[in-house]
Structure 1
Amino acid sequence: MSKIKLGQRPQNFKHTVKFPMLDGSEGSIEISYIYRTRSEFGKFIDEVFAESKEERPEDDDFSWTKLMEKTGTANAGYVMRAVDGWNLDVPFAIEHVQQLADELPAAVTAIMDTYRNAITQGRLGN
C-alpha cells in the first residue's frame, strides 16, 4: 500500500475512459485530467453553470439544431477546462473536442462523468 501524504497534490491524473461506439463496440481514450480538490471542483462546476446561463438567450426560438450545437459547444468547453491531454491522433484542441462531441457524444459524456466521479468520489472505474 502507498503511504498517504496530505498536501502533496498531483497536477494531473490519467485514466482510460471507455464508452460505447455507434456500432455497439467499445471505444477508449486515455485522458489526462487536471487535478482539483472537491472544493475546487465545486467552484469549477459553479463557473460552468454560470457561463451556460449567460449563453441562453431568453427569446430564442427553439431549434434542435441550435440545441445540439450549444450542448456540443458547452460540453467541449467543460472538457477543455477539465482535461490537459489525450492519446488521440489529433492534438488536444477545442476544434477536435467539438468534433468528438459532434461525432461521438458518448465519448464526451464518459470523459465528463469520469472526471466528476474521480473528483467527488475519489475513484475511477465501474
Structure 2
Amino acid sequence: MASKITLGKRPKNFKRIVKFQLLEGGEGSIECSYKYRTRSEFGAFIDKVVEAAGATNKPEGEKFSMAELMERTAGQNAAYIMDVIDGWNLDEELTHANVQQLSDEFPAAAAAIMETYRAAITEGRLGN
C-alpha cells in the first residue's frame, strides 16, 4: 500500500545505498545520509557550484555541460560531498579530509555519491 503524503512535512535527510565499481573489479557500496533539499533549493545549490567553478562565463551560445562542470570542479568534490551528505556508514568519521581521501582513492565512489544525490532530488529515484 502506498504511503500517504503530506505537503509541507519535509524530511531533514534521507538515506541511499550508493554502489560503484571498484578499480580492481567488483562492486563497493556506502550508505549515505543525504541532506534533503527541494528541487528549487537544489537548483540554487547547483547555481552556487556553477558560479564557483566559473562555468557561468561561457561564450555566447555555448551550452552548459554538467560533465564539464564536474571536470572543472574535480578538486572540489570533497566540498560538494560535504554539502550534500551528513553521514555515512564508513568506519572513518565524515570529515573533509576523509571525503577528499575517498575521492582520491575511489573516484567512482565520489561520482556515484554526487549522481545519486542529483537523481534523488531531481527525479525522486530510489535506485542507483
Q: What secondary structure does 1:102 align onto?
A: helix
Q: Which runs of 5+ in 2 are unaligned?
A: 56-70
Contact 1:52 1:74 in 2 (8 A): no
Show the 5 A alignment for 1:55-94.
Answer: 71=74, 73-94=75-96
User: What is the distance in 1 between the residues matched to 2:103 and 2:31?
Assistant: 16
Which TM-score applies when normalising by structure 2? 0.83
Which string of whole-angstrom CA distances, capped at 9 and with x for unpartnered residues, describes residues 40-81 of structure 1?
A: 000000011111229xxxxxxxxxxxxx9x61x311111010
Q: What secondary structure does 2:8 align onto?
A: coil
Query: What is the count of residue pairs matched by the alignment?
Result: 111
User: What is the distance in 1 between the residues matched to 2:51 and 2:126?
Assistant: 27
What is the deviation of 1:124? Answer: 2.0
Which TM-score applies when normalising by structure 1? 0.84
User: What is the distance in 1 between the residues matched to 2:50 and 2:77?
Assistant: 11
Contact 1:34 1:83 in 2 (8 A): yes
Which string of whole-angstrom CA distances, capped at 9 and with x for unpartnered residues, describes residues 61-105 of structure 1?
A: xxxxxxx9x61x311111010010101010000000000000000
Q: What secondary structure does 2:20 align onto?
A: strand
Q: What secondary structure does 1:48 align onto?
A: helix
State the superposition RMSD in angstroms: 1.5
